[in-house]
Amino acid sequence: MSPLVIAILGILFLIWAYKNIFINPKGSPPGLPKLPIFGSYLFFLAVNFNHMHRAALFWSKFLKSKIFKMWLGNYYCIVVNDSDAIKEVLYNSDFDGRPDIFLARLRDPNMDRRGIFFTDGPMWKEQRRFILRHLRDYGFGRRFQELELVINEEIRDMIDIMKNGPKYPHEEEFSKPEGNKFLAPFIFMPFTTNCFLHVMCNIRFPRSEQKDLLELAKSSTILQRVGDIYGRMMGVAPWLVHIFPGMTKFSELRKVSMEMHVFFQKIISHHLDTYDENNERNFIDLYIKEMRLKGTESSFSVEQFTLSLVDFAFPAITAIGFQIAMFLQYALLHPEVIEKMQYEIDNVVGNGRFPCLDDRQNLHLCEAAVREILRIETLVATDVPHVAMVDTELKGFRVPEGTIIFPTLTAFHDDEDIWGDPRNFRPERFLDEQGHLSLKKDFSLPFGAGKRLCAGETFARNMLFLIITALVQQFNFVLEKGEKLPTPERNGCGIVVTAPDMWITVRNR
C-alpha cells in the first residue's frame, strides 16, 4: 500500500473520528462516541458487562448529564436517568413507539415483528385493546373471586411442597425430600403459570403433570437472563449471529424462544381443532371468533395471537417468581420486617386460613413491603425501549423522529430527592402517621406508566401480595450453618433483574 493511500485513509479516519467524537449537533444532549459496527455499546460493556443500567448511570455521571445520547450499532439512542424526564417519556404519547429490534423478531418462527411488547401503531392498539378488554372478564386486570380461589389452591399446593417435600419427580428439582428447603425462584413458577393459564383458557396442570410448566419456566428464565436491554435486545450487529452463534447467545435465545412459542401454539391449535362457535369456552375461543369475523386482512391471526400470549404470560411464568425470590433475599437481610409482617397477619388473619385480597385493606405493612420490593429491586431496571414517533423535545434537548429512548427506572427509584434513603429496605416509607398505607406516598413506577403500562400489573400485584403474605404467615426464613447472607448488589440483570438461584431454608411457624 502506497504512502499516499495510507495518508488518504488516515485523513478519512480523522474526519470520521472528529465528526463522531467531537461534534455534537445543536440541541442534542452530550453523549458517547459512535465507533464502527458497535456504536457506543462497547463503552457500556467496558464499564459494567453484566448490568447495563449501572453502566448507564456511570456514563450519566461521567458526562455530567442525566440525559445523554449514544449509538447501538446504527441506532441513535437517548438514555434518560432524570426522574422528571423519565415520567415524561412514559406518559407522553409522542414516545409510545417501539423499535424494530432483533430480539423481537427472534421470537417469531418467521422472524416477523408480532406480539404486544415490541409492536406499535394501529395493530398494537387494536390487539392490546381487544385482549385487555376480554381478559378482564376472566380476572386479568381486575378483582375476580373465582381466580382468587384458584390462586389459593395453587398456593396450598406450593406450601405443601415446602413443608413436606416433593411428591413427583420434577418437584425434586426445586424441593428437598425432607421439606423445609426449596429452590427459588423455580418453585413458584409452575403455580403462577397455572394461574395465568386458568385466566387465558381455563386450563390447569395438576401437580403430577407440571413438568412441562417447569420446562417452560426454564426457557423463559434463560430468555430473561441472557438477553440484555441494550445490546442483545437491539441486535447491535445481527450479522455476528451467523459467525458466532454461540458466543453471541442468539442461538440459545432462538432455541428457548421457539420452545415458548411451541407451548402456546399447541394450546391454540387444540382450540382451533375443537372450536364450536355455539359453545364459547374461554378467552382463546373469543379470539378465534374475532379472527374469523375480521378475516385474513386484519391484524388477527394465529401467529400474532401466539406471540401476544407469550408476552402476556411472561409476568406469570417468571417475573412474579423473580420478584418473590428477591423479597426472600431481603427477608433474610431484614428479619425485623418479617416479624412486623407476621404480627400484623396474626392479628388480622390468624393462622386458620391464608390471607386474601379482602385483608389487604388491613394488612398495611404487608402491602407496603410488597411495594417496597418492587421499588428497591426494580424488575425491569431499564424500561423496554421507546421510540419517538415524531420530531420532539425532551427537557430542552432535540429528539428526532425514530430516536430510541431508554428510560432507566432504577434511576427514578434511586432518586434521593424523591425517596430520601432509596437503598434502604424500608416499607414504612409507604405508610402514614397512623401506620396506614398511603397511596399518596407511592411514587414508584415498577410497571412503567402511560399507554405502555405493563398490562399484567394488577394480576402481578395480586399474586405477589397473596403469595408473599402466605409465605410470611407460614414460615420463618433462616440461614443454615455455613450459609452466607444474600447480596442483592450481585443480582444479575439481563432483560430483567434476577436473583441467583437460591436454596431457601424455612421453619414452620
pLDDT tens, the chain, 509 aa long:
677 666 666 666 556 655 665 556 678 999 998 888 888 888 988 898 788 899 999 999 999 999 999 998 888 999 999 999 999 999 999 999 999 888 788 889 999 999 998 899 999 999 999 988 888 888 777 777 888 999 999 999 999 999 999 999 999 999 999 889 999 999 999 999 999 999 999 999 999 999 999 999 999 999 889 877 776 666 667 777 777 766 667 788 889 999 999 999 999 999 999 999 999 999 999 999 999 998 888 899 999 999 999 988 888 899 999 999 999 999 999 999 999 999 999 999 999 999 999 999 999 999 999 999 999 999 999 999 999 999 999 999 999 999 999 999 999 999 999 999 999 999 999 999 999 999 999 999 999 999 999 888 999 999 999 999 999 999 999 998 888 999 998 899 888 999 999 999 999 99
pLDDT for the residue numbered 88: 97
Would you call 306 helix, strand, or coil by DSSP?
helix
Backbone angles phi and psi of 367, in degrees to 5: -65, -40
Identical fold for domains 1-95+381-413 and 107-293+310-380+423-449+456-508, yes or no, is no
Is the domain covering 107-293+310-380+423-449+456-508 a CATH 1.10.3720.10 domain? no
State the first-to-last Cα distance of the chain, in angstroms, to the nearest integer. Answer: 79
**Smallest Cα–Cα separation from 374: which of 452, 313, 430, 304?**
430
Three-class secondary structure assignment of 249-291: CHHHHHHHHHHHHHHHHHHHHHHHHCCCCCCCCCHHHHHHHHH
Tally of helices (H runs) and strands (E runs) in the chain: 20, 11
Q: For 136-249, where are the alpha helices, taking DSSP H only?
A: 145-164, 189-201, 211-226, 231-234, 240-243
Which strands make up the sheet holding 475-478, listed edge to edge? 181-184, 502-508, 475-478
Backbone angles phi and psi of 498, in degrees to 5: -140, 140
CB 193 within 8 A of CB 217: yes
Cα 392 to its chain centre, rounded Å, is: 28
Grid coordinates of 24 = 455534537
Would you call 469 helix, strand, or coil by DSSP?
helix
Domain residue ranges of the chain, discontinuous segments joined by + = 1-95+381-413, 107-293+310-380+423-449+456-508
pLDDT for the residue numbered 295: 85
Close Cβ partners of 292 (under 8 Å, ≥ 6 residues apart): none
Q: What is the CATH number of domain 1-95+381-413?
A: 3.30.43.20
Backbone angles phi and psi of 497, in degrees to 5: -85, 135
CB 170 within 8 A of CB 211: yes
Grid coordinates of 328 = 426472600
Cβ-based burial of 348 (10 A; exposed 0-12, middle 13-18, buried ≥19): middle
